[in-house]
Amino acid sequence: MTGSTTAEGAAAREAAPAETSADSRPYSPGLAGVLAGETAIAVVDGERGRLFYRGYPIGELVERGTFAQVAELLWTGEWPGKATLVAEPAPPAVLNSLRLLPPESAPMDVLRSAISTWGAIEKLGWPPTVEQARRLTAIAPTALAAFGRLRQKKDPVEPDPSLPLPANFLYMLNGERPDEASARALDAYFIVAAEHGFNASTFTARVITSTRSDLASAVCGAIGALKGPLHGGAPSGVVDQLHEIGSVDRAEEWIRGALDRGERLMGFGHRVYRAYDPRAAALRKVAESMTGMADWLDLAVKVEDIALRLLAERHPERPLKTNVEFYTAAVLQGVKLPPEFYPATFALARNAGWTAHAIEQAAADKIIRPDVRYVGPPERHLPG
């Protein structure tokens, strides 16, 4: 009798909502600092301002590699030597779905819809494969560029198999082959944007993959996460900021005024990096090598110097260094990409990292299902 009563009591306690104070397990809002998995894909060393893909420093990859090589490295774990990754033609069903979208649709929404349509056509199985990752990464620029043409009432441009993927995106968007400097600059941007650890969109892709859902679903979820302004960044905001500053001689006054008003300086500070963002350093070198934008780059470099000095004065306790968005703006403006396409272009590059993480998560084959602390009312009953 006593044993039965004890068992019933234990079952009742388990069924009832727990009091807030009863759960003493540590809680980290936003999972900050929580180890949620293991990866062999990338290391983000925020304290020392370093980033490695599969052990290779990002600066070395930008200087000596191509996006095609880096994508293969992320997918397979091995440096491929020579590698090609060319844009695929968009299937008719994808083009038809793009024609149904309003011309004013946000490019991020368009890209998400195109990937979803492509995934429905392909009927992707599980687990995700490197071949699926290659094809998804290759179809996305074609679809996004096609929408860019359609919204201007122009016919889509078929991909040129002789062009690398980033250069092909510019070609399909503008209808003109990019010059060598612009092609190389965009390729470098794709490299630095390809991967960055367990950020919100990558974690989203891994959660979806952990349920044994398909690769297109994982990437659509990642695009949805990247669309949020707290994650996607704002290189277009950097462009607007620099245009508003206008000239070096009014930069300090403008920046001081913005800081006095409590406004955020676009392109500075990062959730992870406490040192200079290594991606910004790599892109600065690329931007400095580009022709036709020397005046604009000179303004950007001098504004950066002034901003770093003033931020150090205002916040000596909190290092706020240049992040990747600052020189992303320089490169994307230099290749004459429309600002509204900046976030979606980021996603085109990050497809390589998202899909690499999906493949890695599928190999672990364990559903991601964290626990949660209940903080609502205790057990209660409906009024009689």
Please indicate whether residue 22 or residue 174 has the higher confidence score (pLDDT).
174
Q: Assess whether 275 and 164 both reside in one domain.
A: no
Q: Assess whether 131 and 264 both reside in one domain.
A: no
For 45, phi and psi rounded to 5 degrees?
A: -100, 90
Whether a cis peptide bond, with omega within 30° of 0, leads into 127 is: yes
Number of compact structural domains in the chain: 2
Determine, yes or no, domain membership for 30. no
List 72, 88, 195, 270, catalytic entry: 270
- Reply yes or no on whether 270 is catalytic: yes
pLDDT at 159: 97
Q: Assess whether 227 and 240 both reside in one domain.
A: no
pLDDT at 24: 83
% of the chain with per-residue pLDDT over 90: 62
Q: Assess whether 161 and 264 both reside in one domain.
A: no
Q: Is the pLDDT of residue 261 over 80?
A: yes
pLDDT at 18: 47
Q: Assess whether 110 and 96 both reside in one domain.
A: yes
What band does 17 get if pLDDT is binned at 50, 70 and 90? low
Question: Quick one: 267 exposed, middle or buried, by C-beta within 10 A (0-12, 13-18, 19+)?
Answer: buried
List 88, 325, 357, 360, catalytic entry: 325
pLDDT at 10: 47
What band does 324 get if pLDDT is binned at 50, 70 and 90? confident
Residue span of the structural domain in which 124 resides = 86-232+342-364
User: What's the average model confidence in pLDDT over 48-67?
Assistant: 94
Q: What is the DSSP string of 10-71?
A: HHHHHHSPPPGGG--S---GGGTT------SSEEEETTTTEEEETTEEHHHHHHH--HHHHH
User: Comparing 40-54, 188-202, 310-324, 337-351, which segment has the lowest mean pLDDT?
Assistant: 310-324
Q: Assess whether 268 and 128 both reside in one domain.
A: no
Q: Assess whether 154 and 215 both reside in one domain.
A: yes
Determine, yes or no, domain membership for 303. yes
Q: Is the pLDDT of residue 13 over 60?
A: no
Determine, yes or no, domain membership for 20. no
pTM of this prediction? 0.88
HSE-up of residue 270 (Cα within 13 Å, Cβ side): 24
Q: Assess whether 197 and 239 both reside in one domain.
A: no
Coil, helix or strand at residue 97:
helix
CATH number at residue 245: 1.10.230.10
Dihedral over Cα of 194, 220, 34, 264: its sign: positive
Determine, yes or no, domain membership for 107. yes
User: Comparing 34-38, 251-255, 356-360, which segment has the lowest mean pLDDT?
Assistant: 34-38
Q: Is the pLDDT of residue 15 over 80?
A: no
Q: For 157-185, write each residue's pLDDT tens digit.
A: 999 999 999 999 999 999 999 999 899 99
CATH number at residue 210: 1.10.580.10
Determine, yes or no, domain membership for 16. no
Residue type at 259? L
- Reply yes or no on whether 325 is catalytic: yes
Q: Is the pLDDT of residue 334 over 70?
A: yes
Coil, helix or strand at residue 189:
helix
Q: How far apart are the C-alpha atoms of 245 and 129, rounded to whole Å?
A: 47
Q: Assess whether 199 and 246 both reside in one domain.
A: no
Please indicate whether residue 221 or residue 11 has the higher confidence score (pLDDT).
221
User: What's the average model confidence in pLDDT over 79-95?
Assistant: 94
Determine, yes or no, domain membership for 290. yes
What band does 4 get if pLDDT is binned at 50, 70 and 90? very low
% of the chain with per-residue pLDDT over 70: 92
Minimal CA–CA distance to 350: which of 220, 172, 161? 220
